[in-house]
């Protein structure tokens, strides 16, 4: 699945799944644009990839800001002249019961998880149409974009939105040979969103009544037919496939990658 010479933008690339996707692209020969709102971890990943010999550009970007997104796309074109792949990976998470959920937290999740996908896709699609050779857009949704969870209402709403947007955009831009798909990870354990204060693990511990994070991992694993939680690299393999020409008759899909934990359309 060599992507040699392709230009790939990965949002939320400083840590976790985004970092994994960016490294995977570099190993396949792509030129990689790393974007994140967090300066220090972004520079750390940039340095790591430079030491690997990657051809890359790091751009601080708030995906919920149209000005930031437009600048990021301009910086990409100024350096590389084109864009072939966009991975909308940046994400935000807060948990609360609906009666306790703040308007600020609702807006933040919608701004990053849904509006960010819209803004980045809009800017990149314009460039891809102008280039006239198609492209690949990969949106990171979630199994929480297909079913609701206790304490996840805003997060679920934002990830459901990503799937609806993916389907609509795929129908709009198929005539330009632009492929748009969503990936729906299940429990991917080694990420900031999982382990940060207020993250997935903490919220699931609250629901389950478990107080030990290691025991919480065991609970996840018992619910997964393949017997383990996901790793960022598991998702990156699917990202590479969807970014390659091996997926050239797949568009508008929302693909679960979860060790068999969920079966849904």
- What gap in Å lies between CA 154 and CA 124, rounded to an integer? 26
Q: If DSSP codes are grouped into helix, strand and coil, which group holds residue 114?
A: helix
Phi-psi region of 166 (alpha: psi -120 to 50; beta: other; left: phi over 0): alpha
Is residue 159 within 8 A of residue 142, CB to CB? The reply is yes
- The catalytic residues are 155
- What gap in Å lies between CA 164 and CA 242, rounded to an integer? 18
Write phi, then psi, for 111 (nearest 5 degrees): -65, -45
Separation of first and last alpha carbons in the chain:
27
DSSP classification of residue 230: B
Q: Where are the alpha helices (DSSP H) in the chain?
A: 16-27, 39-51, 66-80, 103-109, 116-131, 153-173, 192-195, 200-208, 213-222, 232-243
Question: Which of 45-55 are b and which e, b meaning 16 or more Cβ less than 10 Å from the residue's Cβ?
Answer: bbeebeeeebe
């Amino acid at each position: 699945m060599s992507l040699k010479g392709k230009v790939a933008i990965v949002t939320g690339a400083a840590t976790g799944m985004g970092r994994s996707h960016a490294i995977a692209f570099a190993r396949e020969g792509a030129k990689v644009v790393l974007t994140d709102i967090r300066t220090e971890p972004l520079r750390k990943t940039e340095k790591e990839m430079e030491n690997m010999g990657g051809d890359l550009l790091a751009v601080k970007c708030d995906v919920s800001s149209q000005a930031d997104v437009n600048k990021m796309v301009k910086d990409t074109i100024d350096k590389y002249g084109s864009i072939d792949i966009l991975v909308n990976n940046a994400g935000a998470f807060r948990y609360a019961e609906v009666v306790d959920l703040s308007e600020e937290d609702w807006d933040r999740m919608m701004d990053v998880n849904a509006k960010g996908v819209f803004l980045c896709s809009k800017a990149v699609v314009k460039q891809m149409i102008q280039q006239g050779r198609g492209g690949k857009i990969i949106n990171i949704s979630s199994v929480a974009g297909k079913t609701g969870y206790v304490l996840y209402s805003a997060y679920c709403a934002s990830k459901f939105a990503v799937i609806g947007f993916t389907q609509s955009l795929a129908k709009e831009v198929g005539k330009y040979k632009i492929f748009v798909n969503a990936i729906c990870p299940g429990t991917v354990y080694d990420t900031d969103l999982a382990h940060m204060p207020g993250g997935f693990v903490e919220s699931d511990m609250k629901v389950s009544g478990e107080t030990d994070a290691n025991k919480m991992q065991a609970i996840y694993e018992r619910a997964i037919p393949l017997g383990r939680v996901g790793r960022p690299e598991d998702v990156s393999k699917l990202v590479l496939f969807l970014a390659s020409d091996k997926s050239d008759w797949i568009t508008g899909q929302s693909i679960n990658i979860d060790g068999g934990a969920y079966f849904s359309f």
